[in-house]
Structure 1
Amino acid sequence: MHDPGTGARSAAIATGPAPQAASRPAAETGPEDAHPVRRFGLVTATALVMGNIIGGGIFLLPASVAPFGSLSLLAFVVLTVGAIALALVFGRLARRDPRTGGPYVYAREAFGDFAGFLSAWSYWVMTWVSNAALAVAAVGYVRVVFPGHYPPGTDLAIALLALWLPALANLAGTRWVGAVQIVSTVLKFLPLLFVAFAGLFFFDPKNLGAFDPHGGNPLGGLSAAAALLLYSYVGVESAAVSAGEVRDPARNVGRATVLGTIGAAVVYLLGTVSVFGTVPHGELVTSTAPFSAAVDHMVGGHWGGTLIAAAAVVSIVGALNGWTLMSAQAPYAAARDGLFPARFARRKRGVPTFGVLVGVVLATALTVINYTSGTTGVFNVLVLITTFSATVPYLLAAAAQLYWLAAGERSRVSPGRFARDVVLALGAFAFSMWLVAGAGYAAVYQGVLFLFAGVLVFVVMKGRTRAKAEAEAAPAQEV
């Protein structure tokens, strides 16, 4: 993170060559470049990061890793360090180029159009498929809050409502996106923080169980637990992706990214520790609502399930609000550079409305398939693909930072800062590689196929751009 006293001019001097986009034709820029709509301050940007990182998974996470014993808490700590390193790298990259698009912008600036397109395509696929998964997850929690018998089609209606309400908030403009994000973040964190901190007063070490229940290979147990925890931090890039909507992005994107990641980490770690310490290990392993069980053990009764389910619904709606915006930002940035269809670059009230609509329509189609096909096979395969898709932009962004450091950063920063940035970039790259390894062979295989399918889009868009350039150049040559 940069010195609070520095501005955009000093940041540009300190961080090396000017962004590639500085030489873009005027036709590619658009009115928002001269008069950008920047609705997100530091608080809103931080809420966006925290809200996107913490979706509905936190409410099942302690039970998921309980079979690996308290060793999983160590895995969480290691992952947190990696996530913070990645957050710091995004902050440094945002200083160099605080444009909307985040990882896409960094990859294209360093490695050219093809790398930038792969980053944007992969990120775009991950966002709208993940939104469909979140909407389906919301249905189960809604049924806990409002139990009873529902007529056929109710679950699908609930899932579609969960998708379209955040989409409507996005279409209303970035001011509404920020307001919804702040409110949902506050409402979701109140019960989570209650469990995280109140649980420490009811903590009993006897409930933790064995450190490594499987024994003999702690490293194997650490990696196995990490494989389940790896995607807990997907979303650290949220402020960078929406940098064009953040006030003073060179200063606030890095701060929001780090603060949001640390805030999410505190909730994750303290919440998991509290649940481990309040719920007996044998019960926790089989629990389908570990936070509810923790509340029941702390205060008695059975009202914890309803409370936590309500918090989960709020959490998912908040995550969908943020991720709906994310689903439009990467293609928006790529469209402005001619790598996505031009309609993705249109904005209204600060929001790429076409990108929002396309993303929610695609997520709606997946959700309908999930509920009408009679099987979750197709849907599960697509969700599996997203676990790999999320890592591609991270790897390319970390590689971009290493590229800029190797390309001459040494002459522009002090040795101490240069060494720190190298260590952070290497840590972020290693963290991203660990994400790929944790996704599993099936996810990597399916993800690569889906990623390469996007090459067809790249070929078409580049072909059109070249044909247009040649057509414009022909009259000049004739003269």
Structure 2
Amino acid sequence: MHVTGTVEPSAPAPQEGLESLAAPSPAEAPAGDGDAGRHTRRFGLPVATALVMGNIIGGGIFLLPASVAPFGSVSLVAFGVLTVGAIALALVFGRLAERNPRTGGPYVYAREAFGDFAGFLAAWAYWITTWVSNAALAVAAVGYLDVLIPVSGHRWTACLAALVLQWLPALANFAGTRYVGAVQLVSTVLKFVPLLLVAVGGLFFFDPHNVGPFHPGGGSAIGAVSASAAILLFSYLGVESAAVSAGEVKNPRRTVGRATVIGTAGAALVYLLGTLSVFGTVPHERLVRSTAPFSDAVDAMFGGSWGGWAVALAALVSMTGCLNGWTLLSAQTPYAAAQDGLFPRAFARRRRGVPTVGVGVTVVLASLLTVYNYTSGSGKVFEVLVLVTTFTATVPYLLAAAAQIHHLVAGRGELVDRARLVRDGAVAAVAAAFSLWLVAGAGYAAVYQGVLFLFAGVVVYAVLAARRQRTEA
């Protein structure tokens, strides 16, 4: 089934076209998709919002306060700036989803505005982002698992645990989107219990003397904001989650934008309150050296040593839910691109509402990267790869923001008045500037590695484009 990826603003309600994407007709359905209806469920606003929040809030929240503590409370300013940029992106995705509510998100928007090559770059970069991020989450999750069950003392045991943490969410995806949504909703609810305990409860134990200096390192405060933001960038990936899965969302023209903004704002609120509470409950000197800042905060609030166990369990739930959502997203963009002939055709195969080939290839690549991380014995290599995801994510982000600017300048939107035009233009400009700042924050090494990944994609595109032209001829 070929979909052009272009929806004119005056097109009628897209329910029929979206249903064909979510559950192909018997004549068009790939092999094995005959039972799609029993295992497929279109996401409503609660699940779509949970998908956004669950993918943004992974395991990073449990380490962020200690990571930015050396920069002082100026890092809270970086949080604020990042939040503004993330919400601007969320608003842009919502507007673009109104125009074209197809599965694929940034890929669909870039292709509609700029053509096949831009669409392919968006899909390729986003795909790299997802499977490298999955490997990063799994390895980080093992650190929390070690608090409950000692595994880090044996390298191959830790490696096996990381692989299991990746494959369990993949199996949930193979079972169908009904189970993906259920796992995402439950894990999001469960992980917010301890997070809100610290984020809200910590405010009652807040001591300003624990916060420490505003900018202890000296030098430019703006430089400190940028430096701390570089650490925080990875934590905001995922704002596009609902847009990427638009084909599986009920009433996507309305739901995607609302879920994206609500989910991003909710995640930002948890980030800001959580970090502020930890800053105010754990003395600064101790926080700088902490490896489990939320555990230290709970211990400081209530005494005892049970905080480490509780937070470790919460982190595992959080990361498992995050892996569950990212595994689905990792297959959705290649699926949309494969339908248009811009990815290998196998990625367009679906079973029970899930692009199974995309899930399988992604989890295999993430697993190989995980094994490499444990066998190389170099944390620096993996650290650079994590920053690569920050860079590669900016490619589809920037292209989406540029697509919105393109539509506004070209007058290809249903803008009812000049005030809305100015407002949407300002939001798109902020989103574009935010994306460029993400590139700067990733650092030279990550940009270098990321460009190599992108150039490898150019070769893949050349082969696929040649095959498509030969077929059409």
Q: TM-score, normalised by structure 2?
A: 0.91
2:308 is aligned with 1:311: no
Aligned to 2:396: 393
Aligned to 1:142: 145
Aligned pair partner of 2:445 in 442, 447, 462 = 442
2:244 is aligned with 1:244: no
Partner amino acid, structure 2, of 1:45: A
Alpha-carbon shift at residue 438 of structure 1 (Å): 0.3
Partner amino acid, structure 1, of 2:181: G
Query: Is the 8 Å Cα contact of residues 344 and 352 (structure 1) preserved in structure 2?
Result: yes
Aligned to 2:427: 424
Partner amino acid, structure 1, of 2:10: I
In the alignment, the residues of structure 2 paired with residue 330 and residue 462 of structure 1 have an alpha-carbon distance, to the nearest angstrom, of: 18
Alpha-carbon shift at residue 152 of structure 1 (Å): 6.0
Query: Is the 8 Å Cα contact of residues 385 and 450 (structure 1) preserved in structure 2?
Result: no
Q: Which moved more, 1:208-217 or 1:394-403?
A: 208-217
Query: Is the 8 Å Cα contact of residues 233 and 390 (structure 2) preserved in structure 1?
Result: no
In the alignment, the residues of structure 1 paired with residue 65 and residue 444 of structure 2 have an alpha-carbon distance, to the nearest angstrom, of: 25
Alpha-carbon shift at residue 13 of structure 1 (Å): 3.4
Query: Is the 8 Å Cα contact of residues 41 and 178 (structure 2) preserved in structure 1?
Result: no
In the alignment, the residues of structure 1 paired with residue 352 and residue 133 of structure 2 have an alpha-carbon distance, to the nearest angstrom, of: 25
In the alignment, the residues of structure 2 paired with residue 375 and residue 72 of structure 1 have an alpha-carbon distance, to the nearest angstrom, of: 28
Query: Is the 8 Å Cα contact of residues 39 and 178 (structure 1) preserved in structure 2?
Result: no
Aligned to 2:3: none
In the alignment, the residues of structure 2 paired with residue 86 and residue 148 of structure 1 have an alpha-carbon distance, to the nearest angstrom, of: 39
Partner amino acid, structure 2, of 1:12: P
Q: Deviations over 1:136-177 (max 9, x none)?
A: 111111110124786663212211110100000000000000
Query: Is the 8 Å Cα contact of residues 11 and 95 (structure 1) preserved in structure 2?
Result: no
Alpha-carbon shift at residue 301 of structure 1 (Å): 0.7
Structure 1 gaps of 5+ residues are 1-9, 16-20, 471-479
Aligned to 2:10: 13
Question: Percent sequence identity over matched residues?
Answer: 69
Summarize the Cα distance change of 1:253–1:202 in structure 2 as closer, same or farther, 3 Å threshold. same
Aligned to 2:111: 108
2:86 is aligned with 1:89: no
Aligned pair partner of 2:346 in 299, 323, 343 = 343
Partner amino acid, structure 1, of 2:176: G
Aligned pair partner of 1:457 in 417, 441, 460 = 460
Aligned to 1:6: none
In the alignment, the residues of structure 2 paired with residue 217 and residue 149 of structure 1 have an alpha-carbon distance, to the nearest angstrom, of: 39
SS at match of 2:291: coil
SS at match of 1:312: helix
Aligned residues: 450
Aligned to 1:265: 268
Q: Which moved more, 1:224-233 or 1:323-332?
A: 224-233
In the alignment, the residues of structure 1 paired with residue 377 and residue 420 of structure 2 have an alpha-carbon distance, to the nearest angstrom, of: 56
Partner amino acid, structure 2, of 1:211: F
Aligned pair partner of 1:180 in 175, 179, 183 = 183
Alpha-carbon shift at residue 457 of structure 1 (Å): 0.8
Summarize the Cα distance change of 1:13–1:160 in structure 2 as closer, same or farther, 3 Å threshold. same
SS at match of 1:347: coil
SS at match of 1:214: coil
Aligned to 1:475: none
Partner amino acid, structure 1, of 2:426: V
2:165 is aligned with 1:168: no
Query: Is the 8 Å Cα contact of residues 14 and 412 (structure 1) preserved in structure 2?
Result: no
Q: Deviations over 1:20-62 (max 9, x none)?
A: x9xxxx99x9449xx9955211100100000000111110100
Aligned pair partner of 1:278 in 263, 278, 281 = 281
In the alignment, the residues of structure 2 paired with residue 132 and residue 260 of structure 1 have an alpha-carbon distance, to the nearest angstrom, of: 24
Aligned to 1:331: 334
In the alignment, the residues of structure 1 paired with residue 66 and residue 152 of structure 2 have an alpha-carbon distance, to the nearest angstrom, of: 28
Partner amino acid, structure 2, of 1:13: S
In the alignment, the residues of structure 1 paired with residue 131 and residue 143 of structure 2 have an alpha-carbon distance, to the nearest angstrom, of: 20
Partner amino acid, structure 1, of 2:386: V
In the alignment, the residues of structure 2 paired with residue 372 and residue 274 of structure 1 have an alpha-carbon distance, to the nearest angstrom, of: 38
Aligned pair partner of 1:154 in 139, 154, 157 = 157
In the alignment, the residues of structure 2 paired with residue 337 and residue 400 of structure 1 have an alpha-carbon distance, to the nearest angstrom, of: 19
In the alignment, the residues of structure 2 paired with residue 413 and residue 74 of structure 1 have an alpha-carbon distance, to the nearest angstrom, of: 36
Alpha-carbon shift at residue 367 of structure 1 (Å): 1.3
Alpha-carbon shift at residue 379 of structure 1 (Å): 3.9
SS at match of 1:153: helix
Structure 2 gaps of 5+ residues are 1-6, 13-17, 19-23, 31-35
Query: Is the 8 Å Cα contact of residues 84 and 262 (structure 1) preserved in structure 2?
Result: yes
Partner amino acid, structure 1, of 2:369: L
Aligned to 1:413: 416
In the alignment, the residues of structure 2 paired with residue 148 and residue 52 of structure 1 have an alpha-carbon distance, to the nearest angstrom, of: 26
Query: Is the 8 Å Cα contact of residues 9 and 413 (structure 2) preserved in structure 1?
Result: no
In the alignment, the residues of structure 1 paired with residue 412 and residue 102 of structure 2 have an alpha-carbon distance, to the nearest angstrom, of: 21
Summarize the Cα distance change of 1:411–1:178 in structure 2 as closer, same or farther, 3 Å threshold. closer
Alpha-carbon shift at residue 372 of structure 1 (Å): 2.8
Q: TM-score, normalised by structure 1?
A: 0.90
In the alignment, the residues of structure 2 paired with residue 147 and residue 423 of structure 1 have an alpha-carbon distance, to the nearest angstrom, of: 51
Aligned pair partner of 1:233 in 233, 236, 241 = 236
In the alignment, the residues of structure 1 paired with residue 223 and residue 11 of structure 2 have an alpha-carbon distance, to the nearest angstrom, of: 43
SS at match of 1:382: helix
Output the aligned Cα RMSD: 2.3
Alpha-carbon shift at residue 381 of structure 1 (Å): 4.2
Q: Deviations over 1:53-97 (max 9, x none)?
A: 011111010011111111111111111111101100000000000
